[in-house]
Amino acid sequence: MLKSLKFVSYIIFLCSICSITYSQTLGLGRAATSNEVMAWDIDIRPDGKGLPVGSGSVIIGEELYTDNCSSCHGDFGEGIDRWPELAGGFDTLNSEDPVKTVGSYWPYLSTVWDYVHRAMPFGNAQSLSNDEVYAITAYILYLNDLVDEDFELSHVNFEEISLPNEENFYLDNREDLENITYNKRCMQNCKKEAIITKRAVVLDVTPEEEVSENSKQNENDNIEIVSFDPILVKQGEKIFKSCKACHRIGLNAKNGTGPHLNNIFGRVAGELNDYKRYSKNIKKLGQEGLIWNNETLISFLENPKKYIKGTKMNFKGIKKSDELDALVEYLAASTKFN
């Protein structure tokens, strides 16, 4: 018993020494300087608090984006390989394959500025000046048709920009909710019967019932059978990745930033009924008789802004004739849906 009391007394003695020691300055480290604090304190709030003084235009941002961002995110924000898409995806959030971009999903412009400033370019984070971040952010807005090409973003007008999906974000209010109940976990015999009410929908797959070549017959002998060059179609599919940020093709394709391209051949320019974002000039040309076919599509895709002045299509064009041929072949082979 005596030994136990001595041991307890010893522990109390040690604790008293520790408390004295930790109550005094240990002499380790130093206070952070104001510059060091500023280097860490770089977050930007949704209301713009924390933004540094600066500005940058769309025109300057395009060059900076090409040099620092396009290798991963594509020339037009379409995303390359598995890198994120930055533009397009409008009206897709309720679809089976939502495209979450700055224009379609992100809530606040401050998030864009903060992320570019904090983490980009990949592998060389925080190498951009404040003005360069403003310029790249302005160009990303332009890619999403949220500002015009002569726009300049700055700390002064920053709060005037609202992203389209902002209203769909709200503060987490679970702490304020009353009578929250949690279901108890069930490991066995949880339900009398499990009923499948929905099935996953997978597009572009082989039908369950295949029709043999010998049984294929045309209902109308006058139907023209068109064959496509499989090599060109494959090449065109790769080139079309630059278009996917704005355009959709295939079964149940819907309009995005740009109109869907199903049945594009033979379509009057600017006259897709359920698409409302055509420029005035493309509507005018359609009324004057412009119809999309091989020749007109190639001319347009080679230099969109030259072929149709004032077009909203933010695409520099494809200069190589073999790439143009491949893309048009892919569109012809992939967009025939009635």
Q: Is residue 76 part of a domain?
A: yes
Q: How far is CA 151 from CA 40, 134, 137, in A?
A: 30, 11, 11
Task: Give the pLDDT band of residue 173 (cuts 50, 70, 90).
Answer: confident
For 8-34, what is the mean pLDDT? 64
Distance (Å, whole) CA 7 – CA 163: 67
Whether 72 and 160 map to the same domain: the answer is: yes
What are residue 154's DSSP bridge partners?
A: 55
- Segment 36-56 shows an average pLDDT of 89
To which residue do tokens 């999403």 refer?
144
Is pLDDT above 50 for 338?
Answer: no
Q: How many domains does the chain have?
A: 2
Q: CA gyration radius for the chain?
A: 30
Give the DSSP letter string of 17-79.
HHHHHHHS----S-PPPHHHHHHH-----TT-TTPPS-EEEHHHHHHHHHHHTHHHH-TTS--
The structure tokens listed for 212 are 């043999």
Answer whether residue 188 is part of any domain. no
- Residues 14-23: tens digit of each pLDDT: 555 554 444 4
* Separation of alpha carbons 72 and 133, rounded Å: 17
Distance CA(150)–CA(161), nearest Å, equals 15
Do 160 and 248 lie in a common domain?
A: no
Q: What residues are paired with 55 via a beta bridge?
A: 154
Under a CB-based contact definition with an 8 Å cutoff, are residues 277 and 312 in contact?
yes
For residue 2, pLDDT beyond 80: no
The residue among 254, 242, 253 whose CA lies nearest residue 313 is: 242
Coil, strand, or helix at residue 268? strand
pLDDT tens sequence across 114-144: 999 999 998 899 999 999 999 999 999 999 9
Q: Is 193 a domain residue?
A: no
For the segment 192-216, the average pLDDT, to the nearest whole number, is 56
* Domain membership flag for residue 260: yes
Same domain, residue pair 70 and 157: yes
Q: Is the pTM of this model over 0.75?
A: no
Can you tell me whether residue 25 is helix, strand or coil? coil
- For residue 298, the enclosing domain spans 228-334
- End residue of a domain, out of 117, 147, 168: 168
Q: What is the mean pLDDT of the chain?
A: 81
Q: Which CATH number is 152's domain given? A: 1.10.760.10
Query: Are residues 45 and 164 both part of a single domain?
Result: yes
The pLDDT of 233-250, averaged and rounded, is 82
Residue 140 lies in a domain: yes
